[in-house]
Amino acid sequence: MAVLRQPGAVLTDHTFSVPLDHAHPGREQIEVYAREVVAVGREREPLPWLLFLQGGPGGRSPRPLGRDSWLTRALDDYRVLLLDQRGTGRSTPANRQTLPSRGDAAAQAAYLAHFRGDSIVADCELIRRQLLGEDGQWSLLGQSFGGFCTLTYLSFAPQGLREAFITGGLAGLRCDAQDVYRAAYPRVARKNRSHYERYPQDADIARDVVRHLRDNQVLLPDGGSLTPAAFQSLGIMLGTSNGSHTLHYLLEDAFLPGSGEPTLSDSFLSEVQGHLSFACNPLYAVLHESIYGQRSVSSQCTGWAAETVRAEFPQFEVDKALSGDGPVLFTGEMIYPWMFRTDPALEPLRETAQLLALREDWPDLYDGEQLSRNDVPVAAAVYHDDMYVDTADSLATAAAVRGLRTWVTDEYEHDGLRVSGGRVLDRMIRLVRGEL
């Protein structure tokens, strides 16, 4: 068990063996990694545990640089466990390098069906019992998709929780994938309008880039294809605190100056690859729409819902923008089937992703009746016009969870937990304790 010291914090590695399928605990096991973080000098104190569930799906836990970000507040009161959810980070990996060992695409899809929130919560419960004992309880902090998992935890294993904090992650309990994207495209369009109002010069640059990509084949340094649609998907960053500014600086370096013919610069292409490649988090793409699959809501497949619903919003079509005077609109947190052709990290998983998109009868992730009688103290930060999670859905869910208290704010974007220096978490703690 490795122990590291960083400024203000002591970090300890943990690895747990968990069943691939919790319904059959005696069969195949995989590993789940977690990093314990405690304030310097408090290592031996009997502090309450705070489990952190990261956004995603498919995102590894944060890699702390000492006592930074929201840990500045958390370590005042808690011993924190940063979980690399199954398939991510230092847990047993699931990617283009490892999945072929499972067999063909059907075998890979069957394997990945065990990587949704219900399995993550079952992992957490097994880990809780090992660390705290059968009757021990811990606090839970869920960011974005981690908040979705928190609702699953409250639905099926509330006995393990003493309190829960959710930031930007109150999912719609009764929304299918098409509902999610039908609500998402207008929010993304609003974020586009805000960006172009802030940086009006970017409209011409974006049009020039899309026109160039439509007329030329452009490859990224990793061999992936930069198509107009791939360029549009850079809009995923528009829902974060600095995303609009980051996109602006990316665009201003798009073309190589003084080159005569329009030429996209190497620096631009390198940065774009960093934003678009799924090499570090392939499960985000492969499993993204499955997190909205619930048999009691719809027995149908998710079926590439973002692609299907996009046809209802023609303002996102680049040809329409180039033939008129409207701006090119960037897309948001949408996963499209073409990504499995243009991204080398995803291309080997194309057939697997297709099978998951066509899978029907996903098990439910939430229990509305249990949530309606919830007795675990819960606080949730709901960000006004959150680009990634619909605010109306979040407020409806808040009303459906007994005892849940909300803080609705436009002070922060979806990444408020990370960028607020502990202020968002402090507000959640105070809400749960009845101090506000």
Q: Do residue 311 and residue 390 come from a single domain?
A: no
Active site residue 361: yes
Whole-model pTM: value is 0.96
Is there a single domain that holds both residue 246 and residue 370?
no
Shared domain check, 411 and 345 = no
Question: Which CATH number does the domain housing residue 416 bear?
Answer: 3.40.50.1820
> Domain range for residue 388?
3-173+366-432
Encode pLDDT of 183-229 as tens digits: 999 999 999 999 999 999 999 999 999 999 999 999 999 999 999 99
Residues 204 and 352 in one domain: yes
> Per residue in 124-152, pLDDT tens?
999 999 999 999 999 999 999 999 999 99
Q: What are the strands, taking DSSP E only, across 296-388?
A: 378-383
Do 262 and 377 lie in a common domain?
A: no
Domains held by the chain: number: 2
* Pairwise CA distance, residues 419 & 415, whole Å: 6
Q: Domain boundary residue among 358, 381, 412?
A: 358
Asked if 189 and 315 count as a contact pair (C-beta separation under 8 A), the reply is yes
Residue 334 shares a structural domain with residue 424: no
Catalytic residue among 212, 414, 415, 426: 414
Query: Would you state the pLDDT for residue 332?
Result: 95
414 is catalytic: yes
Which of the following is catalytic: 13, 104, 361, 385? Answer: 361
> What integer pLDDT is reported at residue 206 of this predicted model?
97
Are 215 and 229 members of one domain?
yes
Same structural domain for residues 166 and 181?
no
pLDDT one-digit tens code per residue, 264-319: 999 999 999 999 999 999 999 999 999 999 999 998 999 999 999 999 999 999 99
225 & 144 share domain: no
Q: Could you tell me which residue, 326 or 179, shows the higher pLDDT?
A: 179
Q: Are 89 and 193 in the same domain?
A: no
CA distances from residue 404 to 92, 371, 373, 381, 408 in whole angstroms, order as listed:
34, 10, 11, 11, 13
192 and 331, same structural domain? yes
Which residue among the candidates 61, 144, 244, 420 is catalytic per the annotation? 144
Closest CA to 169 of 158, 159, 154, 156: 154
Domain boundary residue among 327, 358, 389?
Answer: 358
